[in-house]
Amino acid sequence: MTREIRCNSSQSLPFSLELKEIIESKVYTPGRMYDILIMILTGEKHMPSLTEPLRDEHKELYPQVEMLRLAGDAVYESLTTSAHNKIEEAYYFLTHQLIPHAQAEDHALYPVIQKVMGAPQATATMSRDHVEVGRLTEELGTLRVHRSQLSITTLQAQALRRVLYGLYALVKLHFAKEEEIYLPLLDAKLSKAEAHEMFEKMEAAAHEAKAHLPG
Ligand SMILES: [Fe+2]
Ligand SMILES: [Fe+2]
């Protein structure tokens, strides 16, 4: 017996518009059908995308990206303890979290995007962003001063603010480009197994990058 699913009105459906769109897309791979079934059985309104782990990782990093801006806001010629803390927190985030994340992407995410797009240069501009993050982080490393130093020159303050605000804008836009351009592409093109393999490789690469950090 064949049962027909009618999707003429989202009002009459017991599940979300998202599910209606999936059904209407007529992409019925076994994995997709399994996801649809699970959504119906569990009453879940949103199906997690294949690239959800990377979106989650970005979500965890976002508050620290905001910290870059807040650190910039805190920099004046006289440095308070709070300003010192924010600068150090920003530097630690960049060196211990963000740069390993970027290295993992260069190693395991971007090659998959290049393959999916059929263009080896498809991620070159994004890798260049990573290089710039590294360069600005190095600059921040040389500009930061010891906690015991309670004042800096106007030029030093300007340079610190420039670097922190520059990193903030660069990283925020970079995340948006990954999430809005690349991840939907991977969601549409990768199988679950391919996505799983990619994230395992990313995790191993990030682990490796963190293992080589100076203490
Ligand atoms: Fe990236
Ligand atoms: Fe990223």
pLDDT in tens, 37-90: 766 776 666 677 999 999 999 999 999 999 999 999 999 999 999 999 999 999
Return the minimum-mean-pLDDT range out of 7-16, 121-130, 132-141: 7-16
3-state secondary structure of 151: strand
d(CA 23, ligand 2 centre) in Å: 30
Centroid of ligand 1 to alpha carbon of 178 (angstroms) = 7
Please report the pLDDT score of residue 212 as a whole number. 86
- Report how far residue 108's alpha carbon sits from residue 182's, in angstroms, rounded to the nearest whole number: 14
User: Taking the CA of residue 48 as centre, how many other CA atoms within 13 Å lie in the half-sphere pointing to its CB?
Assistant: 10
The whole-number pLDDT of residue 214 equals 75
How many whole angstroms from 89 Cα to the centroid of ligand 2? 19
| Region of residue 43 (phi > 0: left; psi between -120 and 50: alpha; otherwise: beta) | left
pLDDT bin (cut points 50, 70, 90) of residue 6 is very low
**86 is written with which tokens?**
């924010």
pLDDT tens profile 173-199: 999 999 999 999 999 999 999 999 999
CB 167 within 8 A of CB 133: yes
Instruction: Say whether pLDDT at 10 is over 50.
Output: no
pLDDT at res. 4: 43
What is d(CA 57, CA 67) in angstroms, rounded to the nearest whole number? 16
Tell me: the pLDDT tens digits for 111-127?
999 999 999 999 999 99
What's the chain's average pLDDT?
88
Please state, as a whole number, how many other Cβ atoms lie within 10 Å of the Cβ of residue 127: 14
Q: Distance, CA 100 to ligand 1 centroid (Å)?
A: 10
Higher pLDDT, 126 or 1: 126
Q: Distance from the CA of 94 to the center of ligand 2, in angstroms?
A: 12
Distance CA 158, CA 165 (A): 11
Give me the percent of the chain exceeding a pLDDT of 70: 79
Please give the distance, rounded to the nearest whole angstrom, from the Cα atom of residue 105 to the centre of ligand 2: 7
Q: How far is the CA of 178 from the centre of ligand 2 (A)?
A: 6
- CA-wise closest residue to 105 among 185, 193, 187, 182: 182
CA 103 to ligand 1 centroid distance, Å: 8
- If you measure from the C-alpha of residue 134 to the centroid of ligand 2, how many angstroms do you get, rounded to a whole number? 14
* Helix/strand/coil for 78: strand
Say which ligand is closest to the CA of 126. Answer: 1
Backbone angles phi, psi at 147, to 5 degrees: -55, -25
Q: Which has the minimum average pLDDT: 10-24, 84-98, 150-164?
A: 10-24
CA 98 to centroid of ligand 1, rounded, Å: 9
